[in-house]
Chains A and B, each alone.
Chain A
Amino acid sequence: MEVVSKNKSNKAIKPTAIKMSGADAVIRSLIDHGVDYIFGYPGGANMPIYDSVYNMSDEITHVLARHEQGAIHAAEGYARSSGRVGVVFATSGPGATNLITGIADAHLDSTPLVCITGQVNANLLGSDAFQETDVTGITSPITKWNYQLTKKEEIVEVIAKAFYIASTGRPGPVLIDISKDIQFEEIEYELKKHEYIRSYVPYPKLNIEELKEAAELINSAKKPMIIFGQGVILSGAEKQLKELVEKADIPAANTLLGISALDTDHPNAVGMVGMHGNYAPNVLTNSCDVLIAIGMRFDDRITGDLNQYAKQAKVIHFDIDKSEFHKNVKAEVTVLGDAKATLTNVLDYIEKNNHSDWKAEFDKLEAIEKEEIWDKILKPSEGKITMAEVVRDVSKMTDGEAVVVTDVGQHQMFASRYSLFKQTKSFISSGGLGTMGFGLPAAIGAKLGAPNREVVSFSGDGGFQMTMQEFGTIMEYGVTVKQVVLNNGYLGMVRQWQDLFFDKRYASTPMMSPEFGKIAEAYGIEYKKVEKREDLQAALQEMLDCDKSYLLEVAVQEELNVFPMVPGGAAVTEVRLK
């Protein structure tokens, strides 16, 4: 690793006002807010800010991506692996619009980001000036908050407000658009910390009645089931979740983004719910008597047909965002608050319990899934390598300690189903938006956010080609990312749907790939291709042992489908094993 965090002035507050340019104030603010990495791309409208980065480069590191989309996914990966706010810069116009996919991604996945875009001079606003675009207008539906800065005296306060909003309550992306003229102007800098906005209640007051009602329902349940989501990770409630699961002895399933909040080998962990989740938790969602949802939002990929979803169950919904209550699933009891706070307090009322008979029902169904699916794809005796084998081998070789980053598609589902995890913040994937091209850049950010952890990124041949230019970023900064491309020559997930629902008419899903080895070579990145099962383990070991970035291409079975699968719009009990 050549890049190391330089920001030693973490939270150093300078008491006296100092005269500096608006652009310097932007960077000084970031440093004083503890930012160590900025991901971004310069251009006309943010040049003064970049000049200030140059000035202060001994205190903060700018990571130049090869496309603004790469920069923002890297910032997302950084935020997800570190639990801190990711910061991204882009210039006006095309720079700003190239951020849109990442902003929408962060918005749906509640990822804290501060995006800072340059804007044309304030006197040119609305005149269709060169590289002008109404970025606050465009991003209004996909940001938690945004602001156009045209007054120099607001710079420091607005940046402080942006960090406060992005990182508190239900986190999310915030965008600040700064006109170029005020970047040049002189201001008096004095660090402000923003800790109060009268219209914004990030952590609602806990309601003891709600907590007692929830506990009563949990205590009286015969067949309780937990579904936990990313809210547990975002609030740091992993310990409390574990305590609840153990004390009340409740089987606990995760959503895609809830992965790694509870160790995969925990005796009460029953796998993932949703379209490609596990058989037992999907089916038994419609058998439990009390469904306890924690920091999750009943996405349609989780519930399938809502009219046939957990109708028999009394639902308890723990969430920090009250607009999630009753949105998709009507709850009997809602508990408003940060998961860590609500779970800590509900635990006082939870009685010790034992649900071994009920848990045995999960085991029974799990055995069916293992026999029908796992054995065939984890230990196939013939044919090409499967994606599942690669994922499982990596997990075993890294002892479940690696940060697993994925792109979007079949490999993502295999990675989510077959990876093993022993610590939190270990699975980084585009959940809500399903953004192809997320993986490689997110892995770069994830490594910088968790420099002491091994980062392994899985992509398909399709998604990898969407942002593979970020090899340039890896090359330049020496970020150690282990990139595995699972190449099946198809846009696999779409092909799977064509196979199942479009009479195998493979419209635009077979895909040619370049010689990835030559691309890796061009960027000075180690590369190997594996085609035979007997070579897989050695190649994976070589990749993991390498102290530099590595691209491992694995030729996998072309037309393997991900099962189980709840077909779109079907009930969770209609989950198909083949």
Chain B
Amino acid sequence: MEENKQYTLFVYSENHIGVMGRITNTFTSRNLNIDSLTVSESEVAGVYRFTIVTHATASLMMLMSKRIERQVDVIKAGYFAEEELVTQEVAMYKLSTDVLTDGMEIERLLRKHSGRILAVHKDYFVIEKTGHKVETQALFEDLKVHGVFEFVRSGRVAISKPMVLFQEILQDVEEEAKQTS
């Protein structure tokens, strides 16, 4: 049996209504959960990039990416294992202002975790930390004893280590699309 591992799937697509649904439907139809999902415009104007983290086998990831690439509005889809990626996430934590003024503990934690304060209000303040999931989670665990009103973590953003230029892929796809018409 092939083992389930964490993979990061990337999808380059047109920015059209319903594309996200078509991509997530592909997961639903395989009874597969999405761990995190981030969408943003890519280096090519008008082309959007999805970064989707999931747990599956390598062969299923291959099928999934081809299945997603089959969608008319999708330009390219592929996937990477953990070691092939540089990744980052951002997390935010909302706590009572009382704990900030109550001794040195918060200052110590901010220095330890390289967090920073984004906003201070008379009732609450907001800490931000970027890093891997384990790092933002570790700060959360340390802050928990002080009472965290809200904790939120973004989806993963990831850059692949292999040197592949999307512009070149896009050029190839466009050329093939033209030739066949």
Contacts and interface: CB of A to CB of B under 8 A. Distances in A.
A165 B177 CA distance: 12
6 contacts: A140-B21, A140-B25, A141-B25, A322-B69, A323-B67, A323-B70
Contact of B176 (A137, A205, A321): A205
Nearest to A164: B181
Q: Which of A165, A197, A199 has the most chain B CB atoms closer than 10 A to its own CB? A: A199
A182 to B, nearest CB: 16
Interface of B: 13-14, 17-18, 21-22, 25, 28-29, 59, 62-63, 66-67, 69-75, 170, 173-174, 176-181
Given A136-B18, A199-B72, A322 B66 contact: yes
A204 B21 contact: no
The 5 tightest CB contacts between A and B, nearest first, are: A203-B180, A323-B66, A195-B181, A199-B75, A141-B25
Contact of B173 (A140, A198, A202): A198
Contacts of A197: 72, 177
B173 A199 contact: yes
A323 B69 contact: yes
Interface string A172-215: 00000000000000000000000111111111110000000000
Given A146-B18, A323-B66, A323-B67, A200 B72 contact: yes
Contacts of A145: 71-73
B174 A198 contact: yes
A136 B73 CA distance: 15
A202 B180 contact: yes
Given A145-B72, A323-B69, A326-B63, A198 B21 contact: no
A323 B71 CA distance: 11
Interface residues of A, number: 27
Nearest to B67: A323
B62 A326 contact: yes
Contacts of A141: 22, 25, 28-29
Contacts of B67: 323
A201 B173 contact: yes
B21 A144 contact: no
A148 interface: yes
A204 B180 contact: yes
Contacts of A146: 18
Contacts of A195: 181
Contacts of B69: 322-323
A413 B109 CA distance: 71
Nearest to A137: B21
B171 to A, nearest CB: 10
B75 to A, nearest CB: 4
Contacts of B66: 322-323, 325
Contacts of B63: 323, 326-327
Contacts of B180: 201-205
B75 A198 contact: yes
A94 B66 CA distance: 34
A327 B173 CA distance: 23
A35 to B, nearest CB: 21
A205 B180 CA distance: 8
Given A140-B22, A145-B72, A200 B177 contact: yes
A199 B74 contact: yes
A232 to B, nearest CB: 19
B177 A196 contact: yes
Interface in A146-178: 146-148, 165
A138 B63 CA distance: 23
Interface in A311-340: 321-323, 325-327
A137 B28 CA distance: 14
Contacts of A326: 59, 62-63
A113 B29 CA distance: 23
A204 B75 contact: no
Contacts of A201: 173, 176-177, 180
B72 A198 contact: no
A303 to B, nearest CB: 16
A527 to B, nearest CB: 44
Interface in A247-267: none
Nearest to B68: A323
Interface string A202-243: 111100000000000000000000000000000000000000
A210 B25 CA distance: 32
A321 B63 CA distance: 12
Contacts of A323: 63, 66-67, 69-70
Contact of A199 (B14, B22, B28, B179): B14
A46 B5 CA distance: 49
A204 B177 CA distance: 8
A323 B67 CA distance: 5
A79 B107 CA distance: 71
Interface in A92-151: 136-137, 140-141, 144-148
A264 to B, nearest CB: 33
A196 B59 contact: no
B30 to A, nearest CB: 11
A140 B176 contact: no
A254 to B, nearest CB: 25
A495 B53 CA distance: 45
Contacts of A321: 70
Contacts of A199: 13-14, 72-75, 173, 177
A199 B74 CA distance: 6
B17 A196 contact: no
Contacts of B174: 198
A140 B72 contact: no
Nearest to A324: B66
A327 B176 CA distance: 24
A205 B181 CA distance: 11
Contacts of A137: 18, 21
B166 to A, nearest CB: 13
Nearest to A144: B72
Nearest to B47: A199
Given A323-B66, A323-B67, A326-B59, A205 B179 contact: yes
Nearest to A170: B70
A376 B25 CA distance: 48
Contact of B178 (A140, A144, A196, A327): A196
B18 to A, nearest CB: 6
Nearest to A205: B176
A165 B180 CA distance: 13
A98 to B, nearest CB: 22
Contacts of A140: 18, 21-22, 25
Q: Which of A140, A201, A322 has the most chain B CB atoms closer than 10 A to its own CB? A: A201
Contact of B17 (A148, A165, A204, A205): A148
